[in-house]
Amino acid sequence: MRTRTLEIGVGAFMLLGMLALVIMAIQVSGLSLKSAGKTYELLAYFDNVGSLRPRAKIAMAGVTIGQVKAVDLDKDTYTAKVVMAINQQVDNIPIDSTASIVTAGLLGEQYISISIGGDEAFLREGERFEDTQSALILEELIGKFLLGAVRQSG
C-alpha cells in the first residue's frame, strides 16, 4: 500500500511537470498546431528596416496575416531584404500593394503593415513588393525638424 501511494504521488508530479510544459507551449510561446499551417513567401526591399526582427508580425488592416522570416542585407543594392511568410489563405494581395514598416505605439515593437493596391493581378510565391516604405527613425525625424527650424530662423 505504501509503495502505491508513493507511485501515485510521483505519477502526479510527473503529470504536473508535463502539463506545465504544455501550458508553456500553448499559453506562453503561442505555439499552436493551427499556426503551423501553410504559408507562402514574399520579398520586400527596404532602405532601412529600423529594429525589425525575424518573427515580427505582418498585418493587413490591423489583422495579423503572417510573420517576418528573415532580415538580411542585399549586398548588391545596399538595401535590406525582408523575407515574409504569409498565410496561404491570404492569396489575393494585389501586386501594387505597399509594404511599410510601422511601430506599435510610441515605443512598441516594429511590424510590417500592408496597404492594398488596386491591381487585378496578385502577388505569387517568391515575388516582391515594388512599393515599400522604410521604418521611421526618430533621430532622423528630430534631426530634420531641427534643421528646418534653423533654416526658418536664419
Paired with 102 in beta bridges are 111
**Single-letter amino acid, residue 154:** G
Query: How many of the other CB atoms lie within 10 Å of CB of 89?
Result: 10
By CB under 8 A, tell whether 63 contacts another protein.
no
47, 72, 74, 109: which one binds another protein (CB under 8 A): 109
98-103 sheet: strands from edge to edge: 128-129, 39-46, 79-87, 63-74, 57-60, 110-115, 98-103, 131-133
Grid cell in block for residue 88: 496561404
For another protein, the closer of residues 30 and 118 by Cβ is: 30
Specify the 3-state DSSP secondary structure of 90. coil
Specify the 3-state DSSP secondary structure of 125. coil
17, 62, 118, 154: which one binds another protein (CB under 8 A): 17
For another protein, the closer of residues 21 and 73 by Cβ is: 21
By CB under 8 A, tell whether 142 contacts another protein.
no
Of residues 68 through 107, those in contact with another protein by CB under 8 A are: 105-107
34, 38, 55, 75: which one binds another protein (CB under 8 A): 55
By CB under 8 A, tell whether 153 contacts another protein.
no
Residues that bind another protein (CB under 8 A): 3, 6-7, 9-10, 12-14, 16-18, 20-21, 23-25, 27-31, 55, 57, 105-109
